[in-house]
Structure 1
Amino acid sequence: MLKTVVVMLMAVTAGTIGDLLLARGMKELGDLSTMNLKTIFNVFLQALTSPKLVFGTCFLAVFFFLWLAVLSWEDLSVALPMQALNYILVAFLSQYFLHEMVSPLRWAGTVLVAIGVMMITKSGGA
């Protein structure tokens, strides 16, 4: 189980970094919902060369392959809740790096997720 926790922490960290980079990169490219089809295509081409989006995608690929490794030896019912740790990291790091406002209600939800993850992980024999 220690192996699972260590690899999942690495996976969640890689996934969180990837998500943060993608979010920042897309904010820099603009709101797609306000663009016409031609502009969206141009943004798509820009996205292919945006360092934040390229590195974000690479970090998410690392997450994916670590996740595959965990699934090869751990029960899904134990491993999947560990991914919820991503919510906790995203809340903290989004506030710090992306300057997002995280409301008290969102923090309360994040704490509940953390408690649930700990309970499920303990039930798996950690």
Structure 2
Amino acid sequence: MRTIRYKTEMLVGGSVAMAAAGQILIKVGLLGKGRLGLLALQWPLSLPWGVLIGLCVYGVGTLLWFAAVAQKNISYLYPLAAVNYILLGFLGHYLLHESMGPWRWTGITVMAVGIALLSKTDRGIVR
């Protein structure tokens, strides 16, 4: 049973990492492109490579999420997936140089504490 637990958490970790990487790639691919409205009308030919690659990376993360959800309760896994919000806050600030005020940092800290508390509950084994 212990092996399954670690395997599932690794799937969620991979899913979170791939989702964050995909979202950053999408953002970088859209930098300087203005509004997406006209771009979306010409799908798929006019999308920047960063967006297409980001969508593929995000898709792999989604497949990992499917595998994790098949093994554990969603009520246990979803708070773990919320690590994505924290990760993207840090990546947005440090990689994309986005402004982060004290309230946003406070919110990220509150989320981190909440995720830590939720992860201490029942491991969500599907019965």
Establish whether TM, by shorter chain, passes 0.5: yes
- Once the two structures are superposed, residues 52-88 of structure 1 have per-residue CA deviations (whole angstroms, 9 ceiling, x without a partner) of 1111001111111000000000000000111110011
Paired residue total? 120
Say if 1:82 and 1:121, in contact at 8 Å, map to a contact too.
Answer: yes
Runs of 5+ unmatched residues, structure 1: none
Contact 1:29 1:43 (C-alpha < 8 Å) held by counterparts: no
Alpha-carbon distance in 2 for matches of 1:58, 1:32: 18
Partner of 1:41: 41
CA distance in 1, matches of 2:63, 2:12: 11
CA distance in 2, matches of 1:9, 1:23: 21
Q: Which runs of 5+ in 2 are unaligned?
A: none
Which residue number corresponds to residue 21 of structure 1?
25
TM-fit CA distance, 1:4:
2.1
Q: Report the TM-score, using the length of structure 1 for normalisation.
A: 0.85
Q: Deviations over 1:76-124 (max 9, x none)?
A: 0000111110011101111122110111111111111111111111102
Residue identity in the other structure for 2:59: A
Which protein has the bigger helix share?
A: 1
Q: CA RMSD in A?
A: 2.0
- Matches for 1:8-87 after TM superposition, within 5 Å: 8-32=12-36, 41-42=41-42, 45-47=45-47, 50-87=48-85
2:91: which partner in 1? Answer: 93
Amino acid at match of 1:41: L
Cα contact 2:24–2:54 (8 A) shared by 1 = yes
CA contact (8 A) 2:93 2:99 kept: yes
Question: Given the superposition, is the C-alpha separation of residues 80 and 103 from structure 1 closer, same or farther in structure 2, using an over 3 Å criterion?
Answer: same
Tell whether the 8 Å contact from 1:8 to 1:67 is kept in structure 2 after alignment. Answer: yes
**2:81 is aligned with what amino acid?**
Q
Task: Determine the C-alpha separation between the residues in 2 that align with 1:23 and 1:115.
Answer: 27
1:114: which partner in 2? 112
The TM-score normalised by the length of structure 2 is 0.84
